[in-house]
Amino acid sequence: MAKQTSIHRHFIDYFHKEPFVFSAPARINLIGEHIDYNDGMVMPAAVNRSFTFAITPGQSDKCNIFADDLEEGLSFSIHDLNAGDTWVNYLMGVIDAFARRGKVIRGFDLVFGGDIPSGAGMSSSAALSCGFAFALNTIFESSLSRLELAKIAQHAEHEFVGVNCGMMDQYACLFGEPDSLLMLDCRSLTHQTLAFPLKEYSLLLVDTKVKHTLGSSAYNERRASCEEGLFGVQKMNPQVKSFRDITSTMLAQAKDQLSDETYQRCAYVIQEMDRVQKTSQAIASGNLTEVGRLLYESHAGLSKQYEVSCAEADFLVSLAEEDQKAVLGARMMGGGFGGCTINLIDQGKESAFKEKVRSKYFAQFKKEPDFYSVKLSAGVRQITPGTQS
C-alpha cells in the first residue's frame, strides 16, 4: 500500500493531474516448471508483491514514462517502437500487440514501480507487461479479455525481448485469486481454482541472489530440445500432438533417435506433468507432506535432468532437506539459472530456518540470501478510477 501511495503521489508531482492506478502482482509456481510451453498443466498463483502503474491517456502520440525504482524516464512516439536492450521493450511490445489487433491507442503519461525483485524467478516481466496491457485496455476502452491481454504480454516477451516463453506467468498475473492456486491447462488456456489455505504452514522464497537473464540464457535452447524430442516421438506415433499425449513408453521407444541430453529433458517433462497431477490430488486430500515430497522430487528433476538449476539453488534445497520436519518441501522456482527456491515451511520454524540458511549460505558463497514470505493474492486490478484527459 505504501508503494502504491508513493507512485500515485509521484505521478501527480510529475504530471500535475490525477491518474488511473493499477496493480499487477508477481507470481509463484508451486510445481510444474518448464511444462507450460509443452501443453502441460501447471500450478501458479499471484502473490502479494506487485508493480503499481499510475497512468493517464494523452492527446498526442507521445508516451512519457518514468520508472520510479530506477529513477529513469524516457519519451517516445507510439509509432517509433525501437528501444534496444532495455526494460521499455516490454512496454513497446505491448503497444505493438494492441496495434496488430487494430486497437487505437494514443500516447500516455505513466509512472510505475513496485517491490518485485528482478531476476528472482517471480516474473517481474509478466507483471510489467500484463499490468501495462491491462492499464491501456482500461484507459483506451479496448474491451479485450484478460486472456487476450495475457497473449499480448506474451507477444511482448517473444517479439521484443526474445524469450520464447509459455503462457503461465502472464495467465497467473491476470487470473490470480486470493488464497488459491490455479490449476492451469496450458493447452486449452483454461483453469480450475484450487483453494490452498496453509494455516500453520507458509510459503517462503529464498533468493539465491543469482540473477538470471532468460533472453541470454539456455531457456530457448531447452525449448528447442523439447521440440526435437517431440518430433522424434511423432515419427513413430503420428497421432501425438504435444507432450500431453506422450507416455514414458513412447519416449523410451524413440530413445535411440535422441541424444541422451534431449532424452533426459523430455523424460523430465513427462515426469513433471505427472507430479502436477499428484500434487493436485494431495492438495485436495489435505496431504501437505506428500506435496512437499513432490516438490523435492521436482527439484531433483530440474537440477539433474533438465539442468536449469545452479549450485546456489541446489545448496538451498539441500539445507531444506536436512530438516523436513520444518520444511515439508522445496525446489527451485522459475526459469532457472538463479532466482529463488520456494519452501513449504512450518510457520513456527521459519525464523530458525532463516538463521540457519543465512549463516551456511554466506559461509559457502560469501553473499547474503534474501527471504520473501508470500501470500496468494488477486490478479491485475484497478485501484483508483482516475480521470480522462
Predicted model pTM: 0.91
> Does the structure show a pLDDT above 60 at 58?
yes
Three state DSSP letters for 126-180 = HHHHHHHHHHHHHHCCCCCCHHHHHHHHHHHHHHHHCCCCCCHHHHHHHHCCCCE
> Does the structure show a pLDDT above 50 at 150?
yes
> Model confidence over 288-298: pLDDT tens digits?
999 999 999 99
CA distance 125 to 137: 18
Domain annotation covers residue 25: yes
88: CB partners within 8 A, 6+ apart: 65, 74, 76
Q: Which residue has the higher pLDDT, 157 or 135?
A: 135
Domain of 13, in residue numbers: 2-195+377-384
> Model confidence over 66-96: pLDDT tens digits?
999 999 999 999 999 987 778 999 999 999 9
Measured at the CA of 238, the angle between CA 237 and CA 243, to 5 degrees, comes to: 70
> Model confidence over 246-283: pLDDT tens digits?
999 999 999 999 999 999 999 999 999 999 999 999 99
> Which H or E run contains 204?
strand 201-207
**Mean pLDDT, range 43-67, rounded to an integer:** 96
Which residue numbers are catalytic?
A: 169
User: Tell me, what's the pLDDT at 135?
Assistant: 98
> Does the structure show a pLDDT above 90 at 237?
yes
Q: Which residue has the higher pLDDT, 164 or 352?
A: 352
- Is the sign of the CA dihedral 350, 316, 358, 69 positive or negative? negative
> Does the structure show a pLDDT above 50 at 12?
yes
Domain annotation covers residue 82: yes
> Does the structure show a pLDDT above 60 at 372?
yes
> Does the structure show a pLDDT above 70 at 65?
yes
**Mean pLDDT, range 219-235, rounded to an integer:** 91
Domain annotation covers residue 18: yes
**Mean pLDDT, range 23-46, rounded to an integer:** 95
Question: What are the backbone angles phi and psi of residue 351, rounded to the nearest 5°?
Answer: -65, -45
CA distance 130 to 146: 9
User: Tell me, what's the pLDDT at 217?
Assistant: 62
Kind of pairing, strands 190-195 and 180-185? antiparallel
Say if residues 47 and 28 touch (Cβ distance below 8 Å).
yes
Q: Which of 163, 133, 148, 180 is nearest to 30 (CA)?
A: 180
Residue 105 per-residue DSSP state: -
- Is the sign of the CA dihedral 245, 250, 252, 255 positive or negative? negative
Domain annotation covers residue 94: yes
User: Tell me, what's the pLDDT at 215?
Assistant: 46
* pLDDT band at 389; cut points 50, 70, 90: low
User: Tell me, what's the pLDDT at 340?
Assistant: 93
User: Tell me, what's the pLDDT at 388?
Assistant: 62
CA distance 293 to 271: 14
- Whichever domain contains 25, its CATH number is 3.30.230.10
Measured at the CA of 197, the angle between CA 353 and CA 44, to 5 degrees, comes to: 80
Say if residues 65 and 74 touch (Cβ distance below 8 Å).
yes
CA distance 344 to 326: 9
> Model confidence over 96-149: pLDDT tens digits?
999 999 998 999 999 999 999 887 778 899 999 999 999 999 999 999 999 999
Q: Which residue has the cell 509521484?
A: 10
Domain annotation covers residue 49: yes
Domain annotation covers residue 127: yes
Domain annotation covers residue 340: no
> Model confidence over 273-287: pLDDT tens digits?
999 999 999 999 999
User: Tell me, what's the pLDDT at 267?
Assistant: 97
User: Tell me, what's the pLDDT at 211?
Assistant: 78
Domain annotation covers residue 93: yes
Amino acid at 246: I
Mean pLDDT for all residues in the chain: 93
Q: How many domains does the chain have?
A: 1
